[in-house]
Chain A
Amino acid sequence: MEDKELALWAAKGREMAFRELLGRYERPLFSLVYRMVRDRTLAEDLAQEAFIRAFNAISTYKPRYKFSSWIFKIANNHTIDYLRKRKLDTVSIDGSPHARNPEEEAQTRLVVESNEEAPDRYVESKELGGQIEEAIGRLRPEYRAAVLLRHVEGYTYEEIADIMDLPLGTVKTYLHRARGELKALLAHVDS
């Protein structure tokens, strides 16, 4: 059964339809949020909130749109909102928000050392420890979202523009710049 039909059934109060949709989008949505915030516990909370928001507003979903785009839009907005709020509220351990390039960000990053690694951190370091994962993690949140939606989820530029509420040209620019930064970061790692 297609996502749209499931969403219609869910809007009519069928719990199994909700569960099926959850099963289909649990991993993709969680992965996007996890790569955006790079914190497993936080990602689970944000993904959970995104699902709850979407499911409680399932009656507003219009079947003429792709369900996956709709739910990714909700999750992406929620995550970006959180990241912006956190940037305003707190000092980021990821480096200065005013850093002009990845090197400056790395220089201003707070180093938290601990002899004993928390279990979640251990899992994260294994999951997100690859070179490309590290490089993606150093991109701006908007660039990160664009790259993940394009290259992990396989959305078209038009769909990304819909999901991120951006003009098509801006999405292109984001992707070009994000990939340019990734290339530079990975070249630095290789050398």
Chain B
Amino acid sequence: MAFEGDPRHLTSEQIQEFLDRQLTREEEASVQEHLSACPHCQGELEGWKLLFSDLGSLPELDPGRVFHQEIMGQAPVLAPERTPGRRAARKARKLAEAHIPHGSIQDYLENLLPPQPAARVEAHLASCDSCQSRVQEWQALLGAFPRLGHFAPKPGFAERVMAQVMVPAPVPVRAGGLSSIPGRALNWVRGVLPQTRHGWAVVGGMASAPTITVVTLVYLLFSRPLLTPGNFVSYLLWKGSSFLDVAAGTVSSLVTESGTLLRLVTFLEPVTQSPLLMGLGGLVFSLFSAGALWVLYRNLIATPPDDRYARARV
């Protein structure tokens, strides 16, 4: 043990710490060993003991009310903590008890939950033993259902049913060939025609809107006294031919100025002069148009509206 000042004696700090029981066991043993052999330090110790004893017997003094008020006036007193209200307590209780509802567990096990709620359920399950055991219970129940099979009615069930079914008279089917074409065409027309009021409304709307527009325009034109249909047709022919002249001039100038177009026209010239090729082109174009119309029909008209099969209750 190192001693400050006179290395042969204990320092005052060591003696005070000894009396305050602040030394470690080893230090305390060392001090006691020294004290037992050192009369000087024993005297010092007795002096410190008296002081400690006097300090311990000092009476408590009353600082007075003013002192208390002054201290409290400057103290940074915090606002008193509120006790939680009923709503807050209920919310906290709900949070603590926020287990997965039974409905969500069922939906989760049936893969009916959207991705985010399913992820929340999985995250909760990873940390909640109670919900895990509930999920296992539900799994056990859902696992029991596949064992439920089908039962068979008694033999002869089909015969008893068929005996009371009024089988409609079979529709005669003609042999193949040209004779069946009108029938098939009729069936096709029946299939294409709208089968619901919704479909007829759409077709009616699509057909009537341009018709009404054209009729209105014709009426407005020919309601003028000086304009007759003959005059109007002559006017249209005149304007049409002049428009075609201008268009042909523009196209020919474009063709002669553009090398690519010229080559294209040269390539297509034999095609435009062959009636067979022109006819084929027209046929392809017609088929394409018919296909496009059919697609439009299937998507706009033939798509069933969201009405349930109300006639199923028979």
Interface residues of chain A, those whose CB is within 8 Å of chain B, are 11-15, 18-19, 22-23, 26-28, 30-31, 34, 43-44, 47-48, 51-57, 59-62, 64-65, 70, 73-74, 77, 127, 130, 132-133, 136, 147-148, 151-152, 157, 162, 165, 172, 175-176, 179-180, 182-183, 186-187
Q: Name B144's closest neighbour in chain A (CB-CB).
A: A132
Given contacts A59-B168, A183-B138, A51 and B161 within 8 Å (CB-CB): yes
**In the docked arrangement, what's the CA distance between A61 and B314, Å?**
11
Q: List 14 A-B contacts (CB under 8 A).
A: A12-B171, A13-B171, A22-B158, A30-B152, A34-B151, A61-B312, A62-B311, A64-B304, A74-B314, A132-B147, A151-B142, A179-B138, A183-B138, A186-B144
Determine which residue in B138, B149, B152, B168 has the highest number of CB atoms from chain A within 10 A of its CB, and name it. Answer: B168
Tell me if A13 and B141 are in contact (CB < 8 A).
Answer: no
User: Which of A18, A54, A175, A179 contacts B167 (CB under 8 A)?
Assistant: A18
Q: Is B165 an interface residue (CB 8 A)?
A: yes
Q: Is B190 an interface residue (CB 8 A)?
A: no
**In the docked arrangement, what's the CA distance between A55 and B170, Å?**
15
Question: In angstroms, how far is the closest chain B Cβ from the Cβ of A32?
Answer: 9
Given contacts A13-B170, A28-B150, A62-B309, A53 and B162 within 8 Å (CB-CB): no
Tell me if B167 and A165 are in contact (CB < 8 A).
Answer: no
Tell me if B165 and A55 are in contact (CB < 8 A).
Answer: yes
Q: How large is the interface on B (under 10, 10 to 19, 20 to 34, 35 or more residues)?
A: 35 or more
- Main secondary structure, interface of A, reads helix
Question: In angstroms, how far is the closest chain A Cβ from the Cβ of B184?
Answer: 15
Contacts of B160 in A (CB 8 A): 48
Contacts of B147 in A (CB 8 A): 130, 132
Tell me if B170 and A31 are in contact (CB < 8 A).
Answer: no
Tell me if A74 and B312 are in contact (CB < 8 A).
Answer: yes
Q: Is B112 an interface residue (CB 8 A)?
A: yes
Given contacts A22-B162, A48-B157, A73 and B168 within 8 Å (CB-CB): no
